[in-house]
C-alpha cells in the first residue's frame, strides 16, 4: 500500500472472547493519534467510523461451543461489505475488536480480489493459532477460531460468508509468533497445510529469516497478502493491554522489523490491528505501540 488514499474502519467487537474491553480498541488507536500519523506519511485518510456491533448485555450467548455466533456472523458480514467497498478506492486499515473481526476483514479482501480471478495470501502475527472449531474449543470463544474459518473449517455461518470457502488457501496462510496452542488444536494446525512459525523458530533462525519465508509463502501465486496483527504477538512487557497476553513474545524491535519487512515487500494488500484492550493497558501504551507498528508497516523509516 503506497502512500495514497486509505480507509480506516473500526470494528468494536468483543463478543468473541471472555475478557471485556477490546471493543474500545478502535477508540484507543484513534486517541493515540492514528489518523494524524497516517497523514504525516502522505496518506489521504478517510475514517469511515465503526460498523454496528451488538453488546453482550443485549444478546444471549447461545451455544456454549460457539458463543454469540449469530451476532458475530452479522458483524463480520457487515464488515466484509464495508471492506470490499473501501478497497475499490485504495488502501485499507481495520481496527479491532477481538480477532474474530478478521473473518469479516479477510472475507471482504478475498471477495474484492476474487472478482478478478485472483487469490490472496495471509500473514497472521499472533501468539495463538486461532484454529479451534466449536468441537475442539475449550472455551467456545470465537476469537480462537477465525483462522480455521478462513481456511474453510468451522461454523457455516462464518466459513461460508460471501457464499464460498475457503477465503485463503492454507498453503498461502502463515502464522508468525506462535507460542500458545490448545492441546486439542495442535493436530489441526499440523494437518491444515498452514505454515506456522513458533517463537522457537524465531529464537533459532532469527526474525529476519522467518519473515522472509513468511512473505514468500503468502505471496506465491497471490495478488498479495493481508496482514492480521494481533497485538499479543508482542511480548506483554511492551504490549500489556491485550486480550490474551502470553509471555515470551516478539520484542519491540522485532515487531518493528517484521512490519518494516512487510512494507519493503510491497506485497501487503490490506492491514488490521486487533485485541488492543485499554481497560487493562497502562496509559494507552499498547495502542501507542500499535500505531507505531502500523506506521512502520505503511512506510515510516528511521532515515
Digit-coded pLDDT (tens) for 173-206: 999 999 999 999 999 999 999 999 999 999 999 9
pLDDT(73) > 70: yes
d(CA 264, CA 248) in angstroms, rounded, equals 26
Q: Please state, in angstroms and rounded to a whole number, the distance separating the CA atoms of residues 87 and 105.
A: 11
pLDDT of residue 59: 85
Residue by residue, DSSP assigns 97-153 as SSTTHHHHHHHHHHHHHHTTT---EEEEE-SB-----TTT-SS--GGGSHHHHHTT-
Residue from 14, 84, 98, 130 carrying the catalytic annotation: 130
- Which candidate in 112, 128, 195, 226 is catalytic? 128
DSSP reduced 3-state for 272? strand
Q: Please compute the mean of the pLDDT values over residues 294-302 and round it to a whole number.
A: 96
Interhelix angle 207-219/252-265, rounded to 10 degrees, is 30
Q: Mean of the pLDDT values across residues 54-68?
A: 92
pLDDT at 2 over 80: no
Q: State mean pLDDT over 89-106.
A: 97
Q: In angstroms, rounded to a whole number, what is the distance separating the alpha carbons of residues 78 and 101? A: 10
- For residue range 83-93, list pLDDT tens digits in order: 999 999 999 99
Q: Could you tell me the pLDDT band of residue 18, with boundaries at 50, 70 and 90?
A: confident
Residue of 23, 98, 143, 256 marked active site: 143
Residue 19 DSSP label:
S
Looking at 14, 23, 232, 272, which residue is catalytic? 232
Q: What values do phi and psi take at 48, rounded to 5?
A: -90, 10
pLDDT band for 33, please (50, 70, 90 cuts).
very high
In tens, the pLDDT along 208-262 reads 999 999 999 999 999 999 999 999 999 999 999 999 999 999 999 999 999 999 9
Confidence of residue 1 (pLDDT cuts 50, 70, 90): low
Catalytic residue among 126, 180, 254, 260: 126
The answer to whether residue 126 is catalytic is: yes
List alpha helices for the chain, DSSP H. Answer: 25-31, 34-40, 69-87, 101-114, 146-150, 156-159, 186-192, 199-205, 207-219, 252-265, 285-297
Sequence-ordered list of residues with C-beta below 8 angstroms from that of 183, at least 6 positions apart, any chain: none
Mean per-residue pLDDT over the chain, rounded:
97
Catalytic residue among 84, 98, 272, 275: 275
The pLDDT, as a whole number, for residue 57 is 87
Catalytic site residue from 14, 23, 98, 230: 230
The reply to whether 99 belongs to the active site is yes
Q: Is the separation of the CB atoms in 291 and 262 below 8 Å?
A: no
pLDDT tens sequence across 256-281: 999 999 999 999 999 999 999 999 99
Q: Cis before residue 166, ω within 30 degrees of 0?
A: yes
Q: What is the pLDDT of residues 112-157, one digit of tens each?
A: 999 999 999 999 999 999 999 999 999 999 999 999 999 999 999 9
- Does 232 participate in catalysis according to the annotation? yes
- Going along the chain from its start, the domains and CATH numbers come out as 5-297 (3.40.800.10)
Amino acid at each position: 500500500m503506497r502512500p495514497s488514499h486509505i480507509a480506516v474502519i473500526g470494528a468494536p467487537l468483543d463478543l468473541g472472547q471472555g475478557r471485556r474491553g477490546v471493543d474500545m480498541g478502535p477508540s484507543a488507536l484513534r486517541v493515540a493519534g492514528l489518523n494524524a500519523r497516517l497523514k504525516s506519511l502522505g496518506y489521504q485518510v478517510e475514517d469511515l467510523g465503526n460498523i454496528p456491533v451488538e453488546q453482550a448485555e443485549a444478546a444471549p450467548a447461545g451455544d456454549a461451543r460457539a458463543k454469540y455466533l449469530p451476532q458475530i456472523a452479522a458483524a463480520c458480514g457487515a464488515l466484509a461489505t464495508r471492506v470490499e467497498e473501501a478497497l475499490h478506492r485504495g488502501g485499507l486499515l481495520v481496527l479491532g475488536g477481538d480477532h474474530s473481526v478478521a473473518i469479516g476483514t479477510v472475507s471482504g479482501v478475498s471477495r474484492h480480489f476474487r472478482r478478478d480471478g485472483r487469490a490472496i495470501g495471509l500473514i497472521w502475527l499472533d501468539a495463538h493459532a486461532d484454529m479451534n472449531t466449536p468441537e475442539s474449543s475449550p472455551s467456545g470463544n470465537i476469537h480462537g477460531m477465525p483462522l480455521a474459518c478462513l481456511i474453510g473449517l468451522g461454523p457455516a455461518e462464518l466459513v461460508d460468508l460471501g457464499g464460498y470457502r475457503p477465503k485463503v488457501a492454507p498453503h498461502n496462510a502463515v502464522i508468525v509468533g506462535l507460542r500458545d496452542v490448545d492441546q486439542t488444536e495442535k493436530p489441526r494446525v499440523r494437518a491444515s497445510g498452514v505454515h506456522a512459525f513458533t517463537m522457537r523458530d524465531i529464537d533459532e533462525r532469527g526474525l529476519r529469516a522467518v519473515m522472509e519465508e513468511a512473505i514468500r509463502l503468502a505471496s506465491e501465486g497471490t495478488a498479495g497478502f493481508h496482514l492480521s496483527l494481533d497485538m499479543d504477538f508482542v511480548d506483554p512487557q511492551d504490549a500489556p493491554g491485550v486480550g490474551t497476553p502470553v509471555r515470551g513474545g516478539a520484542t519491540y524491535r522485532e515487531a518493528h522489523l517484521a512490519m518494516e519487512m512487510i512494507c519493503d515487500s510491497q506485497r501487503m494488500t490490506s492491514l488490521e490491528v486487533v485485541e488492543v484492550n485499554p481497560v487493562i493497558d497502562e496509559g494507552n501504551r499498547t495502542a501507542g505501540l500499535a500505531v507505531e507498528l502500523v506506521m512502520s508497516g505503511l512506510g515510516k523509516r528511521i532515515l
